Structure 1
Amino acid sequence: MSDTQTRRKTAGAFDVRAIIGALLGTYGVILLLMGLFADTAPDKTGGVNANLWAGLALLLVGGTFLAWWRLRPIVVPATDDSDELRGPGL
């Protein structure tokens, strides 16, 4: 067998877990920074820094999605390349 037959193809960056993890991580960083440097509005939240805790939670969940994406990649089934090159009906 050649290298092309034994190599596994994965979904890579197009895996939905990578996109979700990146978005949650981005929002988590924004909220974390807002919780650290912006007004915490303790009278509205009952004395809890809601932005800080929500940012930490989003970073944790986003990191879990990214770890899941890296540790368990989705393997794309191999296709016959000659069918793709000919197009439909040819």
Structure 2
Amino acid sequence: MAEKKKAGAFDIRVVIAALIAIYGVVLTILGIIAKQSEVDKADGININLWGGIAMLVFAAIFIAWARLRPIVVPVGKVDETSE
């Protein structure tokens, strides 16, 4: 029976979550320091703040998904006869 190992940091869901989280942090900070004139342009909605929060929630869901259902890859000898 082959040994199994989790993909860990090489799981694409972790990479996607990290990128979205970085953008989410930037947008959230921009939303917090937004001037009222910028908020008024968006019909009174602080779209940077809400967009940043949504991205952070999305990133948290992706991380939870990667932690709860990790990708398992088999680890073992490579069969050289199949090449």
Give the TM-score normalised by structure 1.
0.77
TM-score by length of structure 2 reads 0.83
Runs of 4+ more than 2 Å apart? none
- Cα deviation 1:47-68 (Å, max 9, x = unaligned): 0000000000000000000111
Pairwise CA RMSD of aligned residues? 2.3
Secondary structure of 1:77's counterpart equals strand
Report the identity percentage. Answer: 47
Shift of 1:82: 7.1
How many aligned residue pairs are there? 82
Name the one with the larger strand percent.
2
Gap runs ≥5 in structure 1? 84-88
Q: Which has the higher relative contact order, 1 or 2, with Cα contacts under 8 A spaced 6 or more apart?
A: 2
1:43 aligns with one of 19, 28, 40: 40
Cα distance in 2 for partners of 1:79, 1:59 equals 37
Match of 1:86 in 2: none
For residue 19 of structure 2, what is the aligned residue in structure 1?
Answer: 23
